[in-house]
Amino acid sequence: MNNIKAWWDRTTDTLGTLFIGVLTLITLLGGILLLKIAFESIGFDRKCVATIGILDSTYTKVTRKIIFVEYRVTYQFEADGRTYHGRDELGEKPLQRAVEVFFLPEDPANNRLKGGKSKFEFILSAFTFTMSWVFFKAYQRAMREGKNQLRTQESGTILDMNTTALMARSFAP
C-alpha cells in the first residue's frame, strides 16, 4: 500500500509540475501572438486611408457574456472606381448609414470601420506576459522543491536534504 501511495505522490507531483510548465508555454505563445496582432494593427493604422462608406440596411445584435453587446454590420465603399464590401462589429447601435471606412490603398479589400485596436492588444499581451512570468516562477519553484526532496519507497515519507544530512551526521561513528 505504501508503494502505491509513493507512486501516486510522485505521479501527481510530476503532473502538477508538467501542467505548470505547459501553462507557462501557452501563456508565452499567447502573449507573442497578441503582440504580433498589435504590431500588425499599428502597421494597418499607419498605412490606411479613410473614406465614406454606406452601411447595409440590416445589422445583427451580438451579445457576449451577457454584458458586452456589439452590432455586426456589413457595408460597402468605393475606392479607385471599384465597389468593395466589408463586415465589422460596432460597439454602438448604428443610427446612420454613412460611416467612415479605413482601408489599405494597395489592397482596398483589407478594410474595417474602426481605427486600430492596438492599445487593447498591447495591454492584453503585457498581462499575458506577466502571467507567463508568474507561471514560470511557479514552475521553477516546483522543480526546485522536487529536487530537494527524497522519497523512501518503504515508508512513503518525504525527507529534505537538510534532514538527511543531519541524520547522517548523528549516526556517524
DSSP string, 50-96: EEEEEEEEEEEEEEETTTEEEEEEEEEEEETTEEEEEEEEESS----
Per-residue pLDDT tens over the stretch 132-159:
888 888 888 877 776 555 444 444 555 5
Longest C-alpha distance within the chain, in Å? 98
Query: Based on the structure, what is the number of domains in the chain?
Result: 2
Task: Please check whether residues 110 and 121 belong to one and the same domain.
Answer: no
The last residue of a domain, from among 114, 146, 164: 114
Residues of the chain with pLDDT under 50: 116, 150-155
Per-residue pLDDT tens over the stretch 10-20:
666 677 777 88
Task: Please check whether residues 75 and 122 belong to one and the same domain.
Answer: no
Instruction: Name the residue range of residue 62's domain.
Output: 49-114
Per DSSP, 108 falls in state: E
Task: Please check whether residues 87 and 169 belong to one and the same domain.
Answer: no
The x, y and z cell numbers of residue 46, run together, are 499607419
